[in-house]
Structure 1
Amino acid sequence: MATKPVPPRPVPRLYLATPDVDDPQDLLASLPRLLAGADVAAVLVRLKPTDQRTMISRVKALAPVIQDKGAALLLDGHVELVARAGADGAHLTGIAALEDALPTLKPDRIAGVGGLKTRHDSMAAGELGADYVLFGEPDARGQRPSVEAISERLQWWDELFEPPCVGFAGSLDEAGEFAAAGADFVLVGDFIWADPRGAEAALMEAEQAIRQAYAATSGKAKAEQG
C-alpha cells in the first residue's frame, strides 16, 4: 500500500523583535515600511522599564501600526499590561513564568515561551499549553547554545510536536539555517536594527534567506520521498 505523502510544511515566517522601546517615535517612523516589505507574522515589543502608565501608552502607540498589517503584537514579559495595552499576548522566559501567566493570558491571548534549557522543559511547556516554544535566545549572561545545538533542537521539536517552534537568529546565516532545520518562525532582532544599510534592507534579506533555505530543504525532502 502506498504511503500517504506528508504535506509540505509552510514557509517559515519572520518574528521581529524591537529594540528596547523608550520613545516609540523612531519605531513608528520605520515599522510601516518594514511590515509592508516583508512577511512578518508577529512583533515582539521589548519595553524599557518605567511606570506602567507610560509603558501602556507606548504599546498603544505601536499597536495599530503592527496589528493593522496583520501581525500579532506580543510583549516581552509584562503579562499584567497585555490586556490593558491591547497587545495580542506575551513572551515568557521559563516554565515558572509560563505557568504564572497562563491564567491571565488564556484562552484569548498568545502565550509563547523561551528560556527552555532542556528537552524536558520544552515538552513541559507544550503540555502546559504554550502557543510556541523559542530556542536559541541568549541567557541572562548573554550565552547561547551553538548553532548546531539550536538547529538540532528545532529539528527534534518539528518532527515530534504540534505547537510551533521559533529559532532565535543572531545573524543572517542563522536565519537560513534555522529555517532549514524546521523552525516555523525565525525571530530576528538586533542584527536587523544594527545593519548599516538600514533595517528594511536587512529584514528583506533575512526573509529571502529563509525562503531560499526552505526551498532547498523542501526540494531535498521531495527527492527523498520520490
Structure 2
Amino acid sequence: MSDKTAPARPAPRLYLATQMVTDPAPLAASLPAILGSADVAAVLVRLKETDPRSMITTVKALAPAIQGTGAALLIDGHPDIVARAGADGAHLTGIKVLEEALPGLKPDRIAGIGGLSTRHDSMRAGELGADYVLFGERDAHGRRPSPDAINERLAWWAELFEPPCVGYAISLKEAADFVAAGADFVLVDDLVWNDARGPAAALAEIGATIRAAHAAAPVAPAGQG
C-alpha cells in the first residue's frame, strides 16, 4: 500500500434551513444577500402546513432567490409537490417515508434523510439510495443526541460510506467539531436566523469557522478515511 497521503477532501459546505415560511416575499427579498455571504450548497424550505397549491406557490416564490445563487432548493417533507414546485428535492424523515418517496424523486431529484436513530437505519438509508444522511437534528419533542454522539455517528459514516453526511449544528463549536469528525455538510437554522447581527453576518461567521476547521483537520494516509 502506498504511503502517500490521500487527496484532501473538499471543504464542507453549508446547508441552510429556513424558519417556517408563512409569507415568502420578505424571505425571497433577503435570501440573495444572505446566501451570498457564505458557501451555501442548499436551502431547506420549511413550509407551513396548508393545501398543496398554496405550498407550491410558496416554493415557486422562493425558487429564483435560492436557485439563482446556485444553491439547491429542498423541501422539508412533502415529496409529492417537489416536481410541481420546481424544487430540487426533498428532505425526508425516517426509512418508511424514504421508501415511499424514492420512486417519485429518483433519479432526477434529491432524496435526503434524517430521523435515523440507529446505525442500522442509517445503513438502510444508504442502501436504498439516499443522497445524504443527516445526524443531530431535533426530534418531534425537541430533543437531539449529545454533540459527542453526533460526532461519533458522523465519523463512523464518513469512514465507511460513500453518500455525504450532514451534521446539524446549533453552535459554532458544533459546526467546527462536525467538520473535524468528517461531515460533508453542516446544517444550520436558528444559529443563523436568531443572530442579533443578522443572518448574513451569522452565516459568514459560520462559513469562516467551517473553513478554519477544515484547514486544521489532519490529512488521512491513503487507504484510510
Q: TM-score, normalised by structure 1?
A: 0.95
1:201 maps to what in 2? Answer: 201
Looking at structure 2, the residues matched to 61 and 156 of structure 1 have their Cα atoms a distance apart, in angstroms, of 39
Which 4+ runs in 1 deviate beyond 4 A? none
Give the distance between the partners of 2:47 and 2:2, measured in 1 at CA. 53
> How many Å apart are 1:4 and its aligned residue?
4.2
AA matched with 1:8 = A
What displacement does 1:5 show? 2.6
Q: Show structure 2 runs of 5+ residues with no match.
A: none
Contact (CA 8 Å) 2:42, 2:73: kept in 1 or not?
A: yes
CA shift at 1:2, angstroms?
Answer: 3.4
Residue matched to 2:35: 35
Counterpart of 1:178? 178
Which range moved further: 21-30 or 210-219? 210-219
Which structure 2 residues correspond to residues 83-162 of structure 1 after superposition, within 5 A?
83-162=83-162
Percent of residue pairs bearing the same amino acid type: 70
Question: Is the 2:110–2:131 Cα contact (8 Å) retained in structure 1?
Answer: yes
Q: CA RMSD in A?
A: 1.3
- Counterpart residue identity of residue 108, structure 1: D
Q: Check the 8 A contact 2:29/2:65 in 1, yes or no.
A: no
Higher relative contact order (CA 8 A, sep 6+): 2
Equivalent residues of 1:8, 1:218 under 8 A apart? no
Secondary structure at 1:209's aligned position in 2?
helix
Q: What residue in structure 2 maps to residue 12 of structure 1?
A: 12
- Could you report, residue by residue, the CA deviation over 1:184-213 in whole angstroms, capped at 9, with x for unpaired residues? 000001121000110000000000111111
- The one-letter amino acid of 2:22's match is D
Q: Name the SS for the 1:75 alignment partner.
A: strand
TM-score by length of 2: 0.96
3-state SS of paired residue (1:44)? strand
